[in-house]
Amino acid sequence: MDIKTVGVVGAGQMGNGIAHVMALAGYDVLLNDISEESLNKALSLIDKNLERQVSREKISEDERAIALGRIKTTTALPDLGPTDLIIEAATERETVKAAIFEDLLPHLKPETILTSNTSSISITRLASRTDRPERFMGFHFMNPVPVMQLVELIRGIATDEPTYNACLKVVESLGKTAASAEDFPGFIVNRILMPMINEAVYTLYEGVGSVKSIDESMKLGANHPMGPLELADFIGLDTCLAIMNVLHDGLADTKYRPCPLLTKYVEAGWLGRKSKRGFYDYRGDAPVPTR
């Protein structure tokens, strides 16, 4: 199947990044969200990020204008029905994702490919609730989407080869690299990354080190570009906790038990950068550790 039009569900951090790279690669994009305000905010951010690429001479001013012109928005989910490929990038809650696919089904073309940008939820289970499990797969971008080079492609148990190849072709057209992952909790990146972040939270919880000393140790001692607690704040502590719960529930191994301190931060609404407080406080001129 030759993919020309892409529907993106969710205009948040991941959705607007996906719309950005798809439009830049020449696809006509229809971006959906439940509120007009979210869509306007997303378009403004895409414009700002494209402008940054122009200033760094990554793209030309003409490319920026053409890419912006390729993105249309809608608050009506059924409008995405005629697109060739749909990428769901809504909140990391299975009930929400399943409801989105259920609402989309009556409006889809028979050949439309459905995908989810989920970072950990079972692709096979999501696919089973649709009328096209063979044309359903995981399409997991990394954050921030315009910068990160990897896309995980996850086959469900029923995903057919033409669907995989069509999605692989899209990834290559974006100038990104695809990693093929099997459908097990967390796939590849989060299966490895989240337990490391969780262990860093345990290290803080048990008083082995402070926020600053843990992050500095991993940056300077393991050459990581960001410390694990700083990275957790960037990802969102609610997302980290959700993925740890998926790993713990899906693999039934105590090594994936979420740290109680991570749960406490989420319960407090301290979710990281997006709420201005997490392991760091972002309300001042410079981030300050909260422990």
- CA–CA gap between residue 70 and residue 116 (Å, rounded): 22
The CA–CA distances, whole Å, from 245 to 13, 88, 234 equal 22, 21, 19
Q: Does residue 255 have a known ligand-binding role?
A: no
pLDDT in tens, 40-70: 999 999 999 999 999 999 999 999 999 999 9
Average pLDDT over residues 148-170: 98
Name the token pair of 198.
């969780």
Asked if 9 contacts 32 with a C-beta cutoff of 8 angstroms, the reply is yes
What pTM, to 2 d.p., does this model score? Answer: 0.91
The predicted structure's pLDDT at residue 120? 86
Q: What is the largest CA-CA distance in the chain?
A: 56
Decide if pLDDT at 1 tops 90.
Answer: no
pLDDT in tens, 8-36: 999 998 999 999 999 999 999 999 999 99
Name the token pair of 273.
């950068």
272 DSSP assignment: B
The predicted structure's pLDDT at residue 92? 85
The predicted structure's pLDDT at residue 133? 98
Active site positions, annotated: 119, 140, 152, 190
Q: What is the mean pLDDT of the chain?
A: 97
pLDDT in tens, 203-217: 999 999 999 999 999
The predicted structure's pLDDT at residue 233? 98
Q: Does residue 138 have a known ligand-binding role?
A: no
At residue 290, what is the residue type?
A: T
Residues linked to residue 5 through DSSP beta bridges, in sequence order: 28
15 DSSP assignment: H
Residue ranges, comma separated, of all CATH 1.10.1040.10 domains in the chain are 191-289
Q: Which CATH number fits domain 191-289: 3.20.20.100, 3.40.50.170, 1.10.1040.10, 1.10.8.50?
A: 1.10.1040.10
pLDDT in tens, 229-255: 999 999 999 999 999 999 999 999 999
Sequence-separated (6 or more) residues with CB below 8 Å from residue 172? 178
Average pLDDT over residues 77-101: 96
- CA–CA gap between residue 176 and residue 235 (Å, rounded): 20
Average pLDDT over residues 134-142: 97
CA 274-280-285 angle, 5° bins: 85
79 DSSP assignment: G
The CA–CA distances, whole Å, from 44 to 17, 51, 209, 228 equal 12, 11, 40, 30
Q: Does residue 11 have a known ligand-binding role?
A: yes
Q: Does residue 53 have a known ligand-binding role?
A: no
At residue 97, what is the residue type?
A: K
- CA–CA gap between residue 105 and residue 108 (Å, rounded): 6
CATH number of 5-182: 3.40.50.720
Would you place residue 117 in the very low, low, confident or very high pLDDT band (cuts 50, 70, 90)? very high
Helix, coil or strand: residue 20: helix
- Alpha carbon 42 to its chain centroid, in Å, reads 15
At residue 243, what is the residue type?
A: I
- CA–CA gap between residue 176 and residue 199 (Å, rounded): 30
**Of 75, 58, 74, which Cα lies nearest the Cα of 21?**
58
pLDDT in tens, 94-110: 999 999 999 999 999 99
pLDDT in tens, 219-235: 999 999 999 999 999 99
The predicted structure's pLDDT at residue 258? 98
Q: Does residue 97 have a known ligand-binding role?
A: yes
Q: Does residue 194 have a known ligand-binding role?
A: no
Helix H or strand E encompassing 7 = strand 5-9
